[in-house]
Amino acid sequence: MSGKVKCFNDIDTIYEKNLVTVCLKRQREYIADPDGEPKAESPREIYELLKAIYDLLSDDQEHLVMLVLSVGNEVSGYKVIASGTQTSGTGDAKIIFRNALMLGAAKIVLAHNHPSGSLKPSAQDIAFTEKIIEVGRTLSLPLVDHVIYTNKGYLSMRAENACRFEPFV
């Protein structure tokens, strides 16, 4: 097989693709818990992880990022789901949950940046988040927070009660 995962008739599968974005940088300054897996048990811990991820992305456009969490809230990886324009970005529930399932997520956290620096969620942000929460309920794969990221701070939509999130347990 020469290191590649194959499916029927020697057709390469999606698992063969090199998902560079799946692995978190494992340097001490980038993880919340240097003695173990990075944890995402609070908006602050999520923000600290996001700093390392968004540092790798251009800050002049929106990027939607998904953190993959275990049952114990350990972050096993992330995926940049979509990149948009300076003022908007779109995400697709199918792409989010396909990646979450492929990466073995028990829960997910979404984040997107606002290049403008505004921490206020738009009506579109809230509607999109509610849609993802609902799909996650159907799949038993909960969205536990959606964080708006800027270079100067963050807003946890969960902490602000902007949406009806599943429990973070």
Tokens matching residue 147: 């964080």
Give the pLDDT confidence score for residue 12 in this predicted structure: 46
Architecture of domain 22-156: 3-Layer(aba) Sandwich (3.40)
Give the pLDDT confidence score for residue 83 in this predicted structure: 86
Would you give per-residue pLDDT tens digits along the chain (169 residues)?
445 444 444 444 444 443 433 344 333 333 334 455 688 889 999 999 999 899 888 888 999 999 999 999 999 889 999 887 766 677 899 999 999 999 999 999 999 999 999 999 999 999 999 999 999 999 999 999 999 999 899 999 999 999 999 887 7
Give the pLDDT confidence score for residue 166 in this predicted structure: 83
Find out whether 129 and 110 touch, Cβ atoms under 8 Å.
Answer: yes
Domain ranges of the chain: 22-156
Tokens matching residue 28: 């001490």
Give the pLDDT confidence score for residue 94 in this predicted structure: 96
Query: How far apart are the C-alpha atoms of 163 and 151, rounded to whole Å?
Result: 24
Give the pLDDT confidence score for residue 120 in this predicted structure: 94
